[in-house]
Structure 1
Amino acid sequence: MSADKHLQSWQERFEMAEAMQPLLGKLYRNQGVEVVVYGKPLLNASTIEIIKAHRLVRRHVGEKLRLRESFPFVQALSKLAVKQCKVDIGKLAVNYWRDHTDVSEIENYMAKELADAIDHADDVAPRDVVLYGFGRIGRLLARLLIERTGRSNKLRLRAIVLRGGKKGDLEKRASLLRRDSVHGPFNGSVEVDEENNAIIANGTYIQVIYANSPDEVDYTKYDISDALVVDNTGIWKDEGGLGLHLKSPGASKVLLTAPAKGAIKNIVYGVNEGDITPEDIIVSAASCTTNAITPVLKAVNDKYGIENGHVETIHSYTNDQNLIDNYHTADRRGRSAPLNMVITETGAAKAVAKALPVLAGKLTGNAIRVPTPNVSMAIISMNLNAETSKDELNEYLKDTALQSPLQNQIDYTDSTEIVSSDLVGSRYAGVIDSQATIAEGKRAILYVWYDNEFGYSCQVVGVMQTMLGLTTLSLPA
């Protein structure tokens, strides 16, 4: 192909992606339809991200999907009365072009494949969400909730609750939402309503409430009712402490973004969210590390069986550590986080058993905090019940990441050049680094990357949706 043809091909793809964007936006805002390509979300995606999503189709089916081949499916989708579902146009297009050579039957094909979602009764009322705390996870949850703003959105961020309230606090909170040193600028506009003590982000009106205790707030004063309160402070971790939220009028359920103590269910979305019942009013989304390793451990255990193992977490530093040496109640965490590797404990390995009881008592774990601000790695060393090899294990995990029910939790890379900063913004719970896999006989070691902030926050949103009964129909099945 000549240089001009390469440029012409790129121009065609770019223009097709640009033409897709308004259709994708209207489908979500007006009909609650989220479009994906083999699981890769296109909601609010840039033209480049749309092009990349199409290129990744080769990983799934061995051949690329051209935008000119998928664009007619987006057009057809926009003409159908489809509501409140997730539609994978990548799978639809690939399946169609295997048996067809022209576009004449696409609309009929789409109507048949999406019949379950056409004129789907939209009788689920939107639910209110309150973020109690607005730190690293709180602000990323806000970004994820705001990106879904629209008339059809069922998960509505209504308020954030903070301690303090000093002069200038509101603008500083808004500024932290606008700009992030790790995840970059907020995708949109953020305004401050000083008079009413609120932040307005992409049209989402977020009431800012100041309180020193979970039971001090009357949410009904702000027209908030039956709300899910997401506690991301990490201060209260047992039923007694988290139960204080339920004493506040307008709050009906609580989700903790940290491992819980006692009998509270620890949920890893994609693994055991089916354990959540309508009667569960306090639930934990476990930890970032537990979310990263549990789906992978489940996949391995399902095929090979795990006799025992050890998880070593190489974890980026967090706000719980000191920038420079200073007093800290925990061992070693008082030493400068940006200057040291710091050995510390983690309960992630034991917490796996709460989500995956079959592994109870089989895992040990430890952690090393390292001088990076985000993205961590779990090294999972296992003794298996069946023999395998590096190639066999990698092939199985690749198929799991692409085709299984865990495809939204597990990603897979065969890059020989990937490093931690490449994974910033990953929406997966964990990403298997296949080049580092070690397997021989019944012994296996896996290296799993994870964005301990953003990837975990995506998992939390999944738990939120499950708690509120807002599960989405995914098509094709």
Structure 2
Amino acid sequence: MTVNEDSFTNWKNREEITESMIPIIGKLHRERDVTVLLHSRSLVNKSVVSILKTHRFARQIAGEELSVTETLPFLQALTTLDLGPSQIDIGMLAATYKADDRGLSVEEFTAGAVAGATGVNKIERREPRDVVLYGFGRIGRLVARLLIEKAGSGNGLRLRAIVVRQGGDQDIVKRASLLRRDSIHGQFQGTITVDEAKSTIVANGNEIKVIYANDPSEVDYTAYGIKDAILVDNTGKWRDREGLSKHLRPGVAKVVLTAPGKGDVPNIVHGVNQDMIKPDEQILSCASCTTNAIVPPLKAMEDEYGVLRGHVETVHSFTNDQNLLDNYHSSDRRGRSAPLNMVITETGAASAVAKALPDLQAKITGSSIRVPVPDVSIAILNLQLARETTREEVLDYLRNVSLTSPLRRQIDFISAPDAVSSDFIGSRHASIVDAGATKVEGDNAILYLWYDNEFGYSCQVIRVVQHVSGVEYPTFPAPAA
């Protein structure tokens, strides 16, 4: 048998093992609200090849690929336990088991590592929490996709309605079509049907009411059976407490804004300051995509090295706020054709850092250039540190942060020498550290941070909604502090 045949046989064996994992992962998710992760990446509703590729990602940890033969026993061990709603990382289980010297079996080790999700410690399954999307633009549709994807057993978040202005004939059909097909993010994973008579979109069994209104005051959510809902405002029309308070109608308990909040509206970057949300807070903001991209790595660098000052330059994909062709615009330069120009503009991300990291004393400045790509941006974070270090030390530190720290869902890490922006379309992280571009000299560090300013940001929005709704389940094994 040739070497090539050996490799092919090995691949087919791993495919077969992975095929056996998929129904276990699905059953845990549907019946017990358990999300199986592999180094912070969800394996729910993933294909055989996708799961194998996720295992290959583990090369960043030990320099070698993690095999499905190593993780399958831990997955099988989970099926024997009385698990409650949780997220369980079988990649971390495998890694920590290797380092454990107690001589335990896989079953014994797994039971101990996830004890916080079993028996008297387990969280009871909750009633689903209603979610309403006010506005259905690019962020609204991606948030909808994520809510539908995460419906799972039906005991988490449940998208009940979207509120939009009437757009003319076949409005609901056209909106459903935009949900079904996305020029950047591809086809919706599932089925979508429309009932024009009932004004509903049914996506993977989720019945979503389409409510037409020109103003929040026109909607009585209780008339649609919606109660205690979290409303996600994707319009950006209202950004202060007074304006967003218009959404607090019967049936709506909390409002989450997908844009930087003004005044005393808390700006939340999940992974960094979600714990500051007061239980009785009804209005909050998820800040901007760029704020979410720079704040987690900025916090990581502040925690380890101290930051004296910094500047962020974002090279940002164009957005709907710009013109396709030259035309009048209220902002300077944004009236010029977005697909044909690089456009210097402002960013509020630097000033928003103070809201997310109030203890950070360093002055952070920022500016932005819009460029002719439809998605994925990069933030160049130039920092003066409180102590000298080396490039190798910084990269080792950030790689470990991305794998084992509480920020591992926010910060990703890539060492591919030929990575370009389109490689990060669909990334679920707030930002991705580009190892090859990182520069460190003495007390100066320059980090290049990629981010999908649409999908990665939408994932951060969902995490905030999960947190305030009480369905952000604990992760096991717990990440290192």
Deviations 1:343-395 (A, max 9, x none): 11111001011000133560111110000000000011122221122222212
Contact 1:37 1:90 in 2 (8 A): yes
Deviations 1:155-191 (A, max 9, x none): 1111110011422000100000000000000000111
What is the rounded CA distance, in whole Å, between the counterparts of 1:112 and 1:395 in structure 2?
Answer: 29
Q: Report the CA distance shift for 1:107/1:382 in structure 2 as closer, same or farther (over 3 A).
A: closer
Deviations 1:395-417 (A, max 9, x none): 22112112211111111111110
Contact 1:290 1:349 in 2 (8 A): yes
Q: Under a length normalisation based on structure 1, what TM-score does the superposition of the two structures give?
A: 0.96
Residues 223-234 of structure 1 aligned to structure 2 (within 5 Å):
223-234=225-236
Residues 101-120 of structure 1 aligned to structure 2 (within 5 Å):
105-119=105-119, 120=122
- Segments of 4+ moved more than 4 angstroms: 97-102
What is the rounded CA distance, in whole Å, between the counterparts of 1:214 and 1:289 in structure 2?
Answer: 28
Q: Cα distance, 1:100 vs. partner?
A: 9.1
Q: Cα distance, 1:206 vs. partner?
A: 0.6
The equivalent of 1:197 in structure 2 is 199
Q: Which amino acid aligns with 2:46?
A: A
Q: Report the CA distance shift for 1:7/1:318 in structure 2 as closer, same or farther (over 3 A).
A: same
Deviations 1:22-78 (A, max 9, x none): 111111111100001111110111111100111122322344321122112222222
Q: Cα distance, 1:95 vs. partner?
A: 3.3
Deviations 1:329-354 (A, max 9, x none): 11111111000000111110010110
What is the rounded CA distance, in whole Å, between the counterparts of 2:394 and 2:320 in structure 1?
Answer: 36
**1:386 and 2:370 equivalent?**
no
The equivalent of 2:471 in structure 1 is 470
Percentage identity across paired residues of the two chains: 55
The equivalent of 1:315 in structure 2 is 316
What is the rounded CA distance, in whole Å, between the counterparts of 2:266 and 2:117 in structure 1?
Answer: 32
Residues 232-271 of structure 1 aligned to structure 2 (within 5 Å):
232-246=234-248, 248-271=249-272
SS of alignment partner, residue 385 of structure 1: strand
What is the rounded CA distance, in whole Å, between the counterparts of 2:109 and 2:68 in structure 1?
Answer: 18
Q: Which amino acid aligns with 1:371?
A: P
SS of alignment partner, residue 339 of structure 2: coil
Unaligned runs of 5+ in 2: none
Q: Report the CA distance shift for 1:107/1:211 in structure 2 as closer, same or farther (over 3 A).
A: same
What is the rounded CA distance, in whole Å, between the counterparts of 2:28 and 2:255 in structure 1?
Answer: 31
SS of alignment partner, residue 172 of structure 1: helix
Q: Cα distance, 1:466 vs. partner?
A: 1.3
**1:30 and 2:15 equivalent?**
no
Contact 2:85 2:125 in 1 (8 A): no
Residues 6-21 of structure 1 aligned to structure 2 (within 5 Å):
6-21=7-22
**1:412 and 2:413 equivalent?**
yes
Q: Cα distance, 1:154 vs. partner?
A: 1.2
What is the rounded CA distance, in whole Å, between the counterparts of 1:80 and 1:87 in structure 2?
Answer: 12
The equivalent of 1:372 in structure 2 is 373
Contact 1:292 1:448 in 2 (8 A): yes
What is the rounded CA distance, in whole Å, between the counterparts of 1:15 and 1:390 in structure 2?
Answer: 41
What is the rounded CA distance, in whole Å, between the counterparts of 1:81 and 1:334 in structure 2?
Answer: 59
What is the rounded CA distance, in whole Å, between the counterparts of 2:66 and 2:161 in structure 1?
Answer: 42
Instruction: Pick which of 46-55 and 143-152 moved more.
Output: 143-152
**1:186 and 2:188 equivalent?**
yes
What is the rounded CA distance, in whole Å, between the counterparts of 2:409 and 2:285 in structure 1?
Answer: 20
Aligned-residue CA RMSD (Å): 1.7
Contact 1:83 1:118 in 2 (8 A): yes
Q: Report the CA distance shift for 1:253/1:101 in structure 2 as closer, same or farther (over 3 A).
A: closer
Q: Which amino acid aligns with 1:179?
A: R
The equivalent of 1:422 in structure 2 is 423
Q: Which amino acid aligns with 2:180?
A: R
Deviations 1:182-208 (A, max 9, x none): 000000011101111000001111111
Contact 2:341 2:372 in 1 (8 A): yes
Q: Cα distance, 1:80 vs. partner?
A: 2.3
Unaligned runs of 5+ in 1: none
SS of alignment partner, residue 416 of structure 1: coil
The equivalent of 1:95 in structure 2 is 96
